[in-house]
Amino acid sequence: PERWKLKKTVVLVGMMGAGKTAVGKALAVRLAVPFLDSDAEIEQAANMSIAEIFARDGEAFFRDRETQVIDRLLEGERGILSTGGGAFLSERNRNLISRKGVSVWLKADLALLWSRVKHKDTRPLLRTADPYGTLRDLYETRLPFYQQADLTVTAQPDYSIDTMAEKVLEAL
């Protein structure tokens, strides 16, 4: 791993399927810093999957947990923090993130996102009659929030996870 002193925790934001978790893990390995994942922390604490939490306690409960977890993780050791796709919509979360971290939007177009999420059943928000339409609507309403990230790195269909990690490093 390279010697790279992180001044702030790098917070990856963006849509489901953008690669936040995969790219975040690769970055953390490269920089030899902790990998932090808000969804995984919420799941561990609840001992339930995200889908189960949504089904049992609802989205509002999940969002509340998400803010608590992001706040706590940003207080800890600096590292790479992968957030859930909805995390950057909340002003409170954006403020927490901008105070303690540097936000990086992993941008990908709708076709690429869809190609990555369509076979998976792990995203409760896409359990609708028209998951593609739902993804498209989420994308459109979320763009103005993601655009507020400090940095943007755009994915391409032919970029590997390591290439994306490299692009993030170049942007930092």
Q: Give per-residue burial for 77-87: e unless 16+ CB within 10 Å, then b.
A: ebbbbbbbbbb
Supply the minimum distance, in Å, between the C-beta of residue 21 and ligand S3P.
Answer: 6
In this complex, which beta carbon is closest to ligand S3P, that of residue 90 or of residue 98?
90
Q: Is 131 in the site for ligand S3P (CB under 6 A)?
A: no
In this complex, which beta carbon is closest to ligand S3P, that of residue 4 or of residue 64?
64
Rounded to a whole number of angstroms, the distance between the first and last alpha carbons of the chain is: 17
Q: What are phi and psi of 124, to 5 degrees?
A: -60, -30
Q: Could you tell me the two tokens for 20?
A: 């936040």
Task: Determine the interface stretch with ligand S3P among 94-102, 123-131, 148-156, 158-166 (rule: CB under 6 A).
Answer: 123-131
Among 10, 11, 19, 20, the residue binding ligand S3P under the rule CB under 6 A is 20
Which amino acid is it at 32?
A
> CB neighbours of 40 closer than 8 A, spacing ≥ 6?
none
Task: Determine the interface stretch with ligand S3P among 2-10, 97-105, 122-130, 154-162 (rule: CB under 6 A).
Answer: 122-130
Specify binding-site residues for substrate. 39, 63, 85, 142
Question: In which order are the strands placed within the sheet that holds 9-13?
Answer: 35-37, 80-82, 9-13, 101-107, 151-154
Build a one-symbol-per-residue string for 61-90: x at contacts with ligand S3P by CB under 6 A, - elsewhere. -----------------------xxx----
Give the separation between CA 144 and CA 78, rounded to whole angstroms: 27
Task: Determine the interface stretch with ligand S3P among 4-12, 15-23, 100-108, 156-164 (rule: CB under 6 A).
Answer: 15-23
Q: Which residues bind ligand S3P (CB under 6 A)?
A: 16, 20-21, 39, 50, 84-86, 123-125
